[in-house]
A and B are shown apart, each in its own frame.
Chain A
Amino acid sequence: MRKIGFSVIYFVLVSVIFILNYTFEHTAMVSYSFWNITRAVLLIFAVIVFPLLNRRIYSIAVTVLKEELRKKTLYVIFIFVALLVSLIHVFGKIAPANQHVFVGEMGLSGITLFGLLFGVFMSSTAMYKEMEKKTVYVLLSYPVSRQEIVMGKFIGNMISILLFSFLLSLIFVVSLLVRFGPINSVIVYSCFALMLEFVVIVAIATTTSTMLSSTSNIVFVIIIFLLGHMTEKITHIASRLEAQRLKEAAEVFVRVLPDFKRFEFKDALSLGTVIEPSVIIASLSYALFYSAVALIIGMLIFRRREVDRL
């Protein structure tokens, strides 16, 4: 491991999955459902399990998790949002005809708000704070590569946000079950999809925190979050552009942006349509692949970053 380096193996693993994906999506070598599941499993291994097998990344991730779990402000926000999502059914009376949908949307919005606040503020400062407080000086005097530091920070932050958003989702779903009895499966899928969205936000914020200051990064990630939810609109506007170059540039821009619409099932909730598990699995693969690419960029930037220049 030490001779080849973590980042090289990580890059190779992600590249192999990308090539396999390209091959299988453009040929009929294997069935879609088989590749959909295999791809998700491979990506879980490459993006989460493989880094955690590295003891240095694991140690950094555990320390990041400890830091987050010891923040009192986090618990204040968490308790506030937990109360909000558990009592959200009270507001259902506003829309008595469509209580399920209204309450579902409100609860999911609450979890999104928490995830966005927590994810953006926590991860946007991840690497920059290390440089600002100079803790990275001591860290780099140990046999840990810069790429492992970036990955450790990401994994730690990702576990923190997944833990808290899972707890919020659980509180939300249980409160709905208590109030309304059996609930629409779309709500459960939406909670899971939101967690995937948070993973992407954490990956982007961790990457950009290697070069941007905390405040600039918070603004940047919030803009990306908003644009990521507007990909359909941007595509629509781009299609109406007359200048071909501008159209192409807009298409590239949309491709580079994270497509957060993949994690949003509000339409299915309001229309009462069923979501296939394969859609969720595909969203999982998208989230992990996007995160992996973002992190590779982050690792490349931080590799040559002068840590005393802020």
Chain B
Amino acid sequence: MDHVIEIKGLRKVYRDFWYRPKVIAIDRLDMEVKKGEIFGFLGPNGSGKTTALKLMLGLIFPTSGKIRILGKVPTDVRIKEQIGYMPEESYLYGFLNADETLDFYGKLNGIPRARRKERIEKVLDIVGLKHARKRRLSDYSKGMSRRISLAQVLLKDPDLVLLDEPTIGLDPVVSREVKDVILGLKSEGKTVVLSSHLLSEVQTVCDKIAILCEGKLIKEGNVDELLTVNGETEIVASGLKQEDISRIKDVISSSGGKFISSGHPKETLEGLFIKSIKEKQESKSN
């Protein structure tokens, strides 16, 4: 099976009490996601990203069109063992603690007791919640809630992971950790579909993107291809002097090209923040 997700002519219309069309949330969406890809849904608020994920999970039903997830319809419960879903907020039971939460979802997924125990230890370690495993989720901070939500996804060891705004509301360090987990899933050959309106996040982790606006697909393709500015070449070099740069400019103009700019590349603010925090933590531990 090459395509993990196949969507054809998908349409979702929300109706009012009198069954009159109220909102067209998704309008004739066609898309395919291949195995092992990290696919990003981009779009402003209310563009239909979350609705598309809900349709893929069978939480709501399409007005028309077809959806096949892992070769089956989304309402087929048999495929759910292989799907992990992290909603935009932690929609877990506040009266349970982390251990009980993971044990409950592990049981629902049919993971045998011994393996469940082993997996719970592993995922709590990955998300860094071992110290708070006996605390009720209602007492968790936003960051911790996102981590436990991610933990229930990892617990299943799913083939397909659906993430709705996975880093929204998180500080840059936790956000980076979540992105690392997503990249880790890719290296394990898992397929990841994430919806986000944080463009840098999508650019960092996604192979392919689809841009939605008012329920319509307005752009789709490979991230590298879409972002490549054709007709321009970027050279990054180190150890050059000012006269070397002048010589390069001469070479460019003698070759018929046009020199546009030169300067020192800048680190991202996210990178700087994480580096500073890590340095501080390391100096504290030393």
Contact = CB atoms under 8 A, between A and B. Distances in A.
Contacts of B80: 140-144
A55 B107 contact: yes
Nearest to A59: B107
Contact of A134 (B14, B58, B78, B89): B89
B128 interface: no
A135 B92 CA distance: 6
A53 to B, nearest CB: 14
A236 interface: no
Contacts of B85: 137-138, 141
A214 interface: no
A144 B109 CA distance: 8
A141 B96 contact: no
Interface stretch (A24-32, A62-70, A281-289): A62-70
Contact of B60 (A67, A142, A145, A306): A306
A137 B104 contact: no
B95 interface: yes
Contacts of B95: 66-67, 70
B107 A67 contact: no
A83 to B, nearest CB: 26
Given A59-B104, A307-B59, A307-B60, A142 B109 contact: yes
B13 to A, nearest CB: 12
Interface in A132-152: 133-145
A71 B54 CA distance: 31
A141 B75 CA distance: 10
A137 B108 contact: no
A67 B95 CA distance: 6
A304 interface: yes
A308 B108 contact: no
A304 B61 CA distance: 8
A2 interface: yes
Contacts of A137: 54, 57, 59, 85, 87, 91
B70 interface: no
Given A63-B93, A141-B57, A56 B108 contact: yes
Contacts of A141: 57, 80, 83-85, 162
A309 B17 CA distance: 11
B232 to A, nearest CB: 44
A143 B78 contact: yes
Contacts of A66: 95-96, 100
A308 B93 contact: no
Contacts of A309: 14, 60
A71 to B, nearest CB: 8
Nearest to B108: A142
A135 B91 contact: yes
B229 interface: no
A143 B108 contact: yes
A74 B65 CA distance: 47
B110 interface: yes
Contact of A2 (B60, B78, B105): B78
A134 B93 contact: no
A59 B61 CA distance: 27
A63 B14 CA distance: 33
Interface in A1-53: 2
Contacts of A60: 108
Interface in B135-187: 149, 152, 162
A59 to B, nearest CB: 4
A143 B109 contact: yes
A134 B88 CA distance: 11
Given A63-B104, A138-B87, A145 B93 contact: no
B92 A138 contact: yes
A140 B59 contact: yes
B81 interface: yes
B29 to A, nearest CB: 17
B77 interface: yes
Interface in B50-65: 54, 57-61
A138 B110 CA distance: 15
Given A137-B85, A143-B81, A143-B109, A308 B59 contact: yes
Contacts of B84: 141
Interface in B25-73: 54, 57-61
Interface of B: 14, 54, 57-61, 77-78, 80-81, 83-85, 87, 89, 91-93, 95-96, 100, 104-105, 107-110, 149, 152, 162
Given A66-B96, A138-B149, A306-B61, 5 more contacts: A2-B78, A59-B107, A137-B54, A140-B57, A142-B108
23 contacts: A55-B110, A56-B107, A63-B93, A63-B104, A67-B93, A133-B91, A134-B87, A134-B89, A135-B91, A135-B92, A137-B57, A137-B59, A138-B87, A138-B152, A140-B58, A141-B57, A141-B80, A142-B81, A142-B109, A143-B78, A143-B108, A144-B77, A308-B59
